[in-house]
Structure 1
């Protein structure tokens, strides 16, 4: 599957005239507009408070943990999730792709942790190809985050979409490359996986 996805496929959309501001520490962000109560509450929800310990600034700023395909039509107890940090599990998904039921509503769900500092404009990019032909590209904004006050992971549910249906859609394997990147072009995760469409979840 490697080499089937071009870097051009992962160029995020940009807004003309938008400039990325200089990076600031958690404490610097906490002190900005300190008199604005609603802004202060929003910053506190992200763990941005004066004197907050944001952890040592070592290692990746963002750790992507899991990606899951969720659907109200999934049988009870069935879960389609991948551990991004387990190479053996990802290799298994490439050998034995997820099977998504055709014509149903589902959504992508991602979990990640912010280890230190403030990450700005984090987004998820996904390119789907079949037999080397690009079938779909998804770009979803995760947002801007600081470390969670309790050190917990964040979960982001993307908007629901409907899986394709029909005999043509069910033929072949869909190869996916996923990437999590921020406004500065910092890549936090980049991995490949596969899925097929079927008449039922399996």
Structure 2
């Protein structure tokens, strides 16, 4: 929810969201690794691209390729506002995050990728004030290979809405998806735009 001029994320209308795009067949990383082994230049390229990703498993008990850790709002003139996504995200529904009107901020998402490459990772957020949808944003996070290290995405700067009509509580719905239409997480929360920091 923003007044961003950033090109890194886009506002999608319903026609774009419901397009008839069919993603290509998902090829497991092991299959990519084993193809064309007699081509030395391609093998070298795959080593640079994939590295040791073929055997990365962070949490053996979690089958998902994506393990979320935190979503952080980083205002320029205030401390970080942190969502812990490690536990059950359903409990976030009752959490309220207050943001000062007109505040300049960035969003940071921290996560692990394990088992396989995720293609076209994206964060989709919708904001409703009462029954009216006021914003829908899609943040393109790119394709990510498995790594033992924590990975993160940081958005471009955004500006929170301001003015009397913008103040109040917004019901937020967030989800993490990829080009293959896998949904890695969905959660709801409340964003409050206030005259000052609370």
TM over 0.5: yes
Shift of 1:83: 1.1
Conserved 8 A contact 1:120-1:145: yes
Cα RMSD of the aligned pairs, angstroms, is 3.1
Aligned to 2:27: 23
Aligned to 2:4: none
Aligned to 1:49: 51
In the alignment, the residues of structure 2 paired with residue 101 and residue 65 of structure 1 have an alpha-carbon distance, to the nearest angstrom, of 25
TM-score after normalising by structure 1: 0.75
Matched, 1:132 2:134: no
Aligned to 1:108: 107
Gaps of 5+ in 1: 1-7
Aligned to 1:81: 82
In the alignment, the residues of structure 1 paired with residue 101 and residue 119 of structure 2 have an alpha-carbon distance, to the nearest angstrom, of 36
Aligned to 2:68: 64
Aligned to 1:155: 152
Matched, 1:166 2:163: yes
TM-score after normalising by structure 2: 0.77
Shift of 1:52: 4.2
Please give the per-residue CA displacement for 1:52-95, whole angstroms capped at 9, x wherever unaligned: 42336961111121111112111xxx3201112334751441xx
Between the two proteins, the alignment pairs up a number of residues equal to 181
SS at match of 2:166: helix
Q: 1:30 to 1:68 in 2, by over 3 A?
A: farther
